Amino acid sequence: MAGVRLRLLSIFAALLVVAGCGADPAPRPSASAAGTPTPTLSGGPAAKAATLAASLSDEDLVGQVLMPYAYGASATDVSAGSAAGNRKLAGVDTPAEMIAKYRLGGLILVGFSADDPTSKNQTTTNVDSVEQVRGLTTGLQDAAAKLPAGAAPMLIGTDQEYGVVTRVKTGVTGLPSAMAFGAAGNPQLTESAWRAAGAELAALGINVDFAPVADVLGSGGSSVIGSRSYGSDTAKVSAQVAGAVRGLQAGGVAATLKHFPGHGHTTGDSHDSLPKLTQSRAGLDAADLPPFTAGIGAGAKLVMSGHLDVRAIDPGMPATFSHKMLTDVLRGQLGFKGVVVTDGMNMAPARRWQPGEAAVRAVNAGNDLLLMPDNLPLAYNGLLSALRTGELSKDRLVEAATRVLTLKFELALAAVPQMSTVGSADHQRDVAKAAAAAVTQLRGACGGPLVRGPVTVTAAGGRTTTKGWLVDALRATGAEVVDSGGAVIHLVGYGDKRSDLRKGAAVTVAMDTPYLLADADSPVLLATYSSSRLSMVALADVLAGKAPADGRSPVAVRGLPRTSCGG
């Protein structure tokens, strides 16, 4: 009967929107709007959050657990196309109006590129330059400050994993992928690099990063996770995840462990299907959960629930909507006290229910923050309707909103770095050490230049920017680079196949997962796991014989050693 009642609630919420109630999801004024003084907030973040949550209307409490995306590169000044997108999504023109109308607790900045396995649910982009992002986040915070919950800063998040999932690309220090850090094998380097990343995101006004990925890769090498993972060794991944959490949060940004309970042991893609995790419960405990435990131990403030069918615990139910997974395992077994955030609610497994019903199910399962709801008015009104009928208890909603507000007050304690820290020389130096330590040689004699005489750089799929970085870096080492006729250094990366390899290349370099190297015929095989500028500088130094290839592949590659240099 619960499912029937939730479906009826979803239909009721839809009728509210059609009838025009969705045009104003706040039928009664908040305490602050009615002239009641904002409560005095004292004590630590948790105490302030509890006091503020107790003063909020139902409408404001619902708004605090929602974190949609919006169209537009500014909070208040958007293009006609962006305004149309916002009207379709939420019935408003601008992000600032969306915040005001739905009393939002957070907003995610989105973007996409060709080399991005998460692009399927990124329907717009509002990330351009560091200056634009800072202006956008300032405008969003100005809008949120006017809300009854405005004593706590808004949560502004993004997926800045680095590697193939990087939202802010221009002007920031580009970290290599998670797999590159796994190849470097030094959690201290990981922590230092992520501290730089955290400081730069904080300077831009982003206070939540949906990273690091805590998924352990299985033998299938999950294509949607791939180089987003630190590797296939659970203990080593755990140490890397903990280092990334410590660094990111030391920089002033809340870290998010994802995708609970682990997306690495499935080849399915949760953007368009419900992947099955077929491990036994003992297998989950041994292989998948330890990185989440390590990240929680390091103080991670958020955990993202995955759209994953965990057969050993709650078969058929996506973990995002599973009380057994989120409340019994994550809260009970792992002892997590922070904010549980859903993966995108506009992804296929979450769309099996109407938006209102999906929102209610997600909160009742144990999520505190709903990311990218498929239809914001329906999600908002569905939660309100469920609250009024008892399908969603007031205590559960207050608990979720209080956790969100506690996180906000915790983040408010951190000093905001100056914009001058973004892309600074110190940050470049810290990240360069990790990029250099990651370069791995899987075939060929070690020591000295790996190619002699003129060289030509080629790349599958063009990759003009990355090729240019490598050419510049090679020339800086004194190497002669020609347009054609030299020994070929061939680059392959995300999405490339066997047909993208170049026969007869002197060197083949994998800039994403190294699996493709198993089919390359080059006498020298290298992996950088990343196509960042600093990774290309590190690669050039190895090719020129000016630096060793000290990395070790964090995943097994058919027919090849983890490293051909140094065991």
Spell out the alpha helix ranges (H) of 1-149: 2-19, 45-55, 58-64, 80-90, 95-102, 130-144
A 10 A CB-CB count for 453 gives 11
- Cα–Cα distance between 31 and 10 in angstroms, integer? 28
- Helix H or strand E segment including 490: strand 487-492
Residue 334 CA to chain centroid, in angstroms?
21
Q: How many contiguous H segments (helices) and E segments (strands) does the chain have?
A: 18, 17
Nearest partner of 49 among 554, 312, 411, 362, judged by Cα:
411
Query: Is 132 exposed, middle or buried, given 0-12, 13-18 or 19+ CB atoms closer than 10 A?
Result: middle
- Cα–Cα distance between 18 and 12 in angstroms, integer? 10
288 included as an active-site residue: no
271 included as an active-site residue: yes
**Which residues pair with residue 369 across a beta bridge?**
341
Strands 455-459 and 309-310, by their bridges, are unpaired
Are the C-beta atoms of residues 108 and 67 closer than 8 Å to each other?
A: yes
- For residue 482, give the amino acid letter: V
Beta-strand (E) ranges in 280-408? Answer: 302-305, 309-310, 339-342, 370-371
- Cα–Cα distance between 501 and 520 in angstroms, integer? 6
Q: Among 259, 263, 265, 271, which one carries the catalytic annotation?
A: 271
Q: Among 116, 288, 343, 430, which one carries the catalytic annotation?
A: 343
- Cα–Cα distance between 349 and 121 in angstroms, integer? 12
Spell out the alpha helix ranges (H) of 271-375: 281-283, 290-297, 323, 355-365
Are the C-beta atoms of residues 419 and 133 closer than 8 Å to each other?
A: no
Residues acting as catalytic residues:
271, 343
